[in-house]
Amino acid sequence: MLLYSRRNLILAAVSGLALSACGFEPVYKEGSATASLKGQVEIVAGKSREEFDLRERLLERFGFSETAKYRLTYTYDVESSGLAVSNTAEITRYNLSGVSKFKIYDVNGTLVYQSVVTASTAYSATSETYPTRVAEQDARSRLALALADQIVSRIGVTAGSWVK
């Protein structure tokens, strides 16, 4: 048992040294480009319920700003497809695939970064309309939050190359 603990300790130490040697550093550390974006990104509002969920998650992560240095715009597209079919030819499970293309502009309106993120989720359908509709809304909301988290991660990882 003691040998196993020593191996973990040695492995952790070696991993830490290897990561520090390659230039690895935390994305959100104090003074990083990502940390400097807090309160500096204006997020353009969408029109649908899911776009509202996406925007709210982005605001949670970046904060609200009245005098932003950057402006984030995005598109939000969802495609639904039947995933499972019962013996009576009813679709009992649906898959939702989402794509969000986003762009970041600086104060002058110059495009500084753009990318695309994708995510998917699923929900079960029943013979009842209301539970199926609630499950679909929940899945769409989860999808929007997953896309927002990916947008934040992508921005965080690349911010060092375009934040001024």
Q: What is the pLDDT of residue 142?
A: 96
**Mean pLDDT of all residues in 124-149:** 92
Domain that holds residue 74: 2-162
CA-nearest of 102, 110, 81 to 148 is: 102
User: Looking at per-residue confidence, does 35 or 134 come out higher?
Assistant: 134
What pLDDT, on a 0 to 100 scale, did the predictor assign at position 1? 46
pTM for the complete prediction? 0.79
pLDDT in tens, 96-115: 999 999 999 998 999 999 99
Residue type, 109: G
pLDDT at position 68: 87
Q: Which of 65-74, 81-90, 110-119 has the highest mean pLDDT?
A: 110-119
Closest CA to 159 of 97, 69, 45, 82: 69
Give per-residue pLDDT as tens, 148-164: 999 999 998 888 888 87
| pLDDT on residue 2 | 47
Residue 5, helix vs strand vs coil: helix
pLDDT at 30: 61
Question: What CATH number has the domain bearing residue 54?
Answer: 3.30.160.150
Domains of the chain: total: 1
Q: Which helix (H) or strand (E) segment is 161 a member of?
A: helix 129-162
